[in-house]
Amino acid sequence: MEATPGDFHLNVAPLLNLAPRPPGPPNFRMPPGLQNAYVKSIRLGEADVLNGGLRLQGPPAGVLEIVIGTAPGALEGRVVKDSQPAGPGITVVLLPDVRRRTDLYKTATTDPSGRFRIDRVPPGDYRAFAWQEIGDGAWQDPDFMQGHESRGAAVRIGDGATTTLQLTVIPER
């Protein structure tokens, strides 16, 4: 593969998608053998290409290594409001600590008992939020999130592990 000098982000479709959906027809489904697969790391020498991007100033001196993981974790729990189950329709958002990794942004909606579950979460450090009302995708706006960071709960998702968390709903403004 040849590339001119510059800054790049690597896409490993369909496992790591920087686009809104995997390439292919609208009804594309991940093959069964890849449903739990995710890109665990991409390194070029000592450089973390997955989280930091790739900067080429000339021909690379090392080998590009892509590691695929097959044991994602999950996050489950419940959302409360005034110490009571929050009920249905609460938006739960899981954001990675490395916010430029928008491929790791995950959402769920609570059921009637205020419970939620987010499956196939690549291991790592995240913050979880629960909103009574929020505009679709508002959590992708850094200015919006700056005012809400302290209201999220830090959570670490481990390889193949299910982490349980109780969140307090962020009220409407």
β-pairing, 6-8 vs 54-56, is antiparallel
Domain locations in the chain?
6-69, 73-168
Contacts of residue 158, defined as CB under 8 A and 6 or more positions apart, other chains included, come to 73, 123
| pLDDT classification of 22: cutoffs 50, 70, 90 | very low
Distance of CA 113 to CAs 24, 88, 110, 146, Å?
A: 37, 7, 7, 30
Between 51 and 156, the more confident residue is: 156
Report how far residue 112's alpha carbon sits from residue 104's, in angstroms, rounded to the nearest whole number. 26
CB of 120 closer than 8 Å to CB of 38: yes
The C-alpha atoms of residue 162 and residue 144 are separated, in whole angstroms, by 29
The CA-CA-CA angle for residues 114, 117, 123, to 5°, reads: 140
Q: Which of 65-69, 84-88, 126-130, 169-173 has the lowest mean pLDDT?
A: 169-173
Closest CA to 120 of 137, 108, 136: 108
**Closest of 76, 67, 69, 61 to residue 167, by C-alpha:** 76
The reported pTM is 0.84
H or E element at residue 49: helix 49-52
**Confidence at residue 154, expressed as pLDDT on a 0 to 100 scale:** 97
Pick the CATH number of 73-168 from 2.60.40.10, 3.10.180.10, 2.10.109.10, 1.10.760.10: 2.60.40.10
